[in-house]
Structure 1
Amino acid sequence: MILTVTLNAAVARTMVVPSLNFGQRHRASESISRAGGKGMNIARSLRELGAPVLATGFAGGRSGDAIRDGLSEASIPFDLVEIASSSRTSTAIVDPTSGVQTEINEHGPLITQAEAREFTRRLEFLMEYASAVVFAGSLPEGIDEDFLAGLVHRSRERGIFTVVDSTPQVLKVALKARPSLVSPNQGEAESVAGFDFIEEDDFSRGTARLVELGAERACVTSPEGHSYLTTADGVISAQAPRVEARSTIGSGDAYLAGLLSGMLHRNLSAVDAVKLAAGCAAANAETLGAGSFEARHAEELAEEVQVEVHSGGKHRL
C-alpha cells in the first residue's frame, strides 16, 4: 500500500472563466470541487491506476467534511486526523481564451501540538502496512520543516520507500533525512540546487545535486513537459506527448503517481515507469481538475513518450 501524506489538505475548486478580465463580473462556464492538496491529487491518480493507496493528513471544519466526502466519492480510503481549525480552500481559475491559469491558495489551518502528536501516532501505525509513503505539498501553520523531516526519518528507518514533493524550504530540510525519492518541479529544484536550469545538461546537474544533498533518487519536471529521473544507469529524460491542454494543474502530481505506480506496483523498468508517468501528466492536462484522467488513455499516451538515457554519452531508446 502507498500512503499519501497531505498535511495541508484543501477543498480544491476549479472554475473555467472565458475571457477573464479582473475588475469585471464574470460567470464561470464550468466548475468542479474536490478533495485537494498534492497528496490528495496523487492518491486520486494512484487510485485510477489501480495501485493500493490510503490518504492521510489533517482535516477540520466544514472544509474538512468536504474533503472526506470528496475522498469517499472517489473511493479513496483515508485516515484523517480531525483538527479544531478549518481546512483551507484553494481556487484555480482557468481562462480557455488566453490559456492563462490563476491559482489562489489559502495558507491553511493552525495545527496544535496535540494534533501533531496524534497524527504521528496514527502514521506510525499505518506505516506497518505501507510499502511507500509520499509526503506532498505545503505545511500548515504549527508544523515546521523539522517535524516533516522527522517523519521522513521514521519511515526510512522502517525501510519504507519514502518520497518528498514539497516547497524548496521544506525540501532542503527533508533531504537531510535521505528520502528515497524527491520530485520537485523545475522552479523548486532550481531553488534547492542553487542555479537556473537553462541548458539540458543543467537538469542532469540539478538532479545530481539533489542526490548529493541526500536523496537516493531525484526527479525534476519542467513546464514544457520534460522530465529527468536519476537511476543507477544515468539520467532518464522524457518528453511528454503534445496534447490539447485544458488545465495543467496537478500534472506534476499525476506524473509522480504514474512513476510510483510503475516502479512500485506494476514492477516496470525505470524507462517504462517514466513513460507511464509522462503519459499520466499529459492525460491530466487534457482534463479539468487535478489527478483526473483515465488510466487507459494515459497508457496510450505513454506509448508516444520520447525517452533518452544520459550516461556519459546519450542515446535514444
Structure 2
Amino acid sequence: MIFCALVNPAIDIVYRIDELELGSTRTDVPSQVFPAGKGINVAKAVRALGEDVCVVALMPENDARRFECYLAELGIECAFCPVEGGVRMSATVVENGPRQVTHINSAGPRRSPRVQDAFVEFAARLMRAGDTWALAGSLPEGFDDDTYMKMVGLCRQKQIPALLDTRGRALSMGVRAQPCMVKPNLSELEMLFGERVEGVHHIALKSKRLLDMGIEYAFVSLGADGTIAVHENECLLCSAPQVDAVDTVGCGDAFDAGVLVGHARSFSFPEMCRMAVACGASNALHTGAGVISREEVWRFMEDVRIEAV
C-alpha cells in the first residue's frame, strides 16, 4: 500500500464566478467545500490510478469526520493522529470567463514539539516493509525542520521507499536521511547546493549530485520546460504533451502519484517518468489538485517526450 503523510491539513472553499472584480462585493457565488492538503492531493491521484492508498494525518477531532467521509467516498483509507485546535483554511476562486484560477492559502495553527513527536511515533507504528510512503507538503508552524528527516530515517530502518517533496530546511535536512525519491524544483535545487544552476546540462549535473548523497531517484521540476529525472546511470529530460490547461495547481502532486505508482509497479525508469509526467498533464485539465483521469494518463504517456541528457 502507498501511505501519504498529511501534517498540515486544510479546508478549501472553492468559488466559481464568471469574472472576479477586485474591490466588489458578491453574494450570489456558488461554492464547494473540500478537505485538502498535499498528502490528500497525492492520494487522490494514486487512487485514480487504481492503487490502494492511505492518508496518515494529523487531525483535529472536530474535523475528523468531514475528512474521513470525504476520503471514504474516494476509496481512500485514513489513519488520524488526534490533535487539539483546527485546520488551516484556503480559498480558490475559479473564473469561467478568463479561465484563470486564484488560490489563497493560510499558514494554519501552530503545533507544539509534543504534537510533532506524537505524529512521528504514530506514523512509525504504521510503517511496514513492502509499503511506500510519500512525505509531501509544508510543516506546521512549531514543527522542527527535521520532522521529515526523522520519518525518512524510520522508513530506511524498515526498508520502506519514501518520496520526499517539500521545501526549505525541511527539504535540506530531509535529504540527509537519504529518501528513496526526492522531487525539488529548480529553486529548491539551487537552495540545496547554495549556487545558481542554469542550463539543462548544469541542472543535470547537480541532479546527479543528489544520487551521490544516497538518493535513488531525483526528479527536478523545471515548470513548463519539463523535468530532469536521474536514476543510476540514466539522466532524462521529460517533456509533457501540449494540453489546454485549466488549472496547474496540483500538477506536482499528481506527478508524485505517478512516481509512486510507477515505482510500486516496478516500471522501468523511463516508463515511471512517462506516467509521472502524464499524471501532471491530466491534472492540468481539471479544476482541483490531484484530480486526474486514468484514461487520460494512459493516452498522454504515449505523447511524453523523453531525451537522454
Task: Tell me the distance in 2 between the aligned counterparts of 1:25 and 1:188.
Answer: 39
Name the amino acid aligned to 1:243: V
Task: Tell me the distance in 1 between the aligned counterparts of 2:27 and 2:190.
Answer: 38
Match of 2:103 in 1: 103
Residues 257-276 of structure 1 deviation map (CA, whole Å, 9 limit, x = unaligned) = 01111121x22111011111
Q: TM-score, normalised by structure 1?
A: 0.89
Aligned residue for 1:135, secondary structure, equals strand
User: Which segment is superposed worse, 108-117 or 215-224?
Assistant: 108-117
Match of 1:297 in 2: 296
Q: CA deviation at 1:162?
A: 1.3
Name the amino acid aligned to 2:40: M
User: Which segment is superposed worse, 223-232 or 281-290?
Assistant: 223-232
Q: TM-score, normalised by structure 2?
A: 0.91
Match of 1:315 in 2: none
Task: Tell me the distance in 1 between the aligned counterparts of 2:215 and 2:97.
Answer: 41
Residues 153-176 of structure 1 deviation map (CA, whole Å, 9 limit, x = unaligned) = 111111110111011221001111
Task: Tell me the distance in 2 between the aligned counterparts of 1:29 and 1:301.
Answer: 35
Q: Is the 8 A contact 1:14 1:289 kept in 2?
A: no
Q: Is the 8 A contact 1:4 1:134 kept in 2?
A: yes
CA separation of 1:180/1:32 partners in 2, compared to 1, >3 Å: closer, same or farther?
same
Gaps of 5+ in 1: 311-317
CA separation of 1:98/1:185 partners in 2, compared to 1, >3 Å: closer, same or farther?
farther
Aligned residue for 1:66, secondary structure, equals helix
- Pairing of 1:260-271 with structure 2 (within 5 A): 260-264=260-264, 266-271=265-270
Name the amino acid aligned to 1:87: V
Q: CA deviation at 1:137?
A: 0.3
Q: CA deviation at 1:183?
A: 0.8
Counterpart check, 1:138 vs 2:159 = no
Aligned residue for 1:164, secondary structure, equals strand
Task: Tell me the distance in 2 between the aligned counterparts of 1:205 and 1:299.
Answer: 31
Gaps of 5+ in 2: none
Match of 1:284 in 2: 283
Name the amino acid aligned to 1:70: Y
Residues 5-35 of structure 1 deviation map (CA, whole Å, 9 limit, x = unaligned) = 1111112333344432321234787644322
- Pairing of 1:231-270 with structure 2 (within 5 A): 231-264=231-264, 266-270=265-269
CA separation of 1:130/1:198 partners in 2, compared to 1, >3 Å: closer, same or farther?
same
Q: Is the 8 A contact 1:138 1:167 kept in 2?
A: yes
Q: RMSD across aligned C-alpha pairs, in angstroms?
A: 2.2
Aligned residue for 1:145, secondary structure, equals coil
* Percent of residue pairs bearing the same amino acid type: 27
- Pairing of 1:15-26 with structure 2 (within 5 A): 15-26=15-26
Counterpart check, 1:38 vs 2:33 = no
Q: CA deviation at 1:95?
A: 3.7
Residues 186-240 of structure 1 deviation map (CA, whole Å, 9 limit, x = unaligned) = 3333332334444222331331243345533211122206111111122121111
CA separation of 1:40/1:229 partners in 2, compared to 1, >3 Å: closer, same or farther?
same
Task: Tell me the distance in 1 between the aligned counterparts of 2:193 and 2:97.
Answer: 36
Q: Is the 8 A contact 2:52 2:76 kept in 1?
A: no
